[in-house]
Amino acid sequence: MEPTHHSIRRALSAVVLATGGLALSAAIWASGNHGFAAGVLSFYGVASIVTYRWAGGRGDVAAILSTRPDERQRGLDRDATAISGLAVTVVALVGAVVAVARTGNPGDFGVICLVSGASYVIALGAMQRRR
């Protein structure tokens, strides 16, 4: 593999993290909370550096972070993503139930439940066509 390609792949996760952090910090800054924006920017900056360094290692996480996983590591990534999605859905469901009981409206939790359910159905349909 060419060194340039390796460097790009290694930096990809860190760049995504830094970009997300920059966007979030800019939004917080625009809302007027400049101190918190600086804190968030610092946190994401450190997280990006740690991610970049971790992606240069040799373990499973490094391979996943640097977008060069093999089939087992892709499976690990897929399972972890599915479990984290499930965790978010469970929390959103519990939150929606509590919100309905307190206010009569599921609020933002309802939106997350809706997106979670709809995306699952769409993903299942798309996957059925592939397998």
Partner 1 sequence: MQNRVRELREGTGLSQGELGERLGVSRQTINSIENGRYLPSLPLALALAHCFATIVEDIFIQEEEKWNPRTIQSVER
Answer whether 54's CB lies under 8 Å from 62's CB: yes
Span from 28-36, 70-78, 82-90, 98-106 in contact with partner 1 (CB under 8 A): 70-78
Q: Where are the alpha helices (DSSP H) in the chain?
A: 3-30, 34-55, 60-65, 71-103, 107-130
Residue 72 binds to partner 1 (criterion: CB under 8 A): yes
Answer whether 64's CB lies under 8 Å from 80's CB: no
Residue 64 binds to partner 1 (criterion: CB under 8 A): no
- CB of residue 58 vs partner 1: minimum separation in angstroms? 8
Residue 53 binds to partner 1 (criterion: CB under 8 A): no
Question: Distance between terminal CA atoms of the chain?
Answer: 31
Binding residue (CB under 8 A) for partner 1 from 41, 63, 92, 113: 63
Binding site for partner 1 (CB under 8 A): 58-60, 63, 70-73
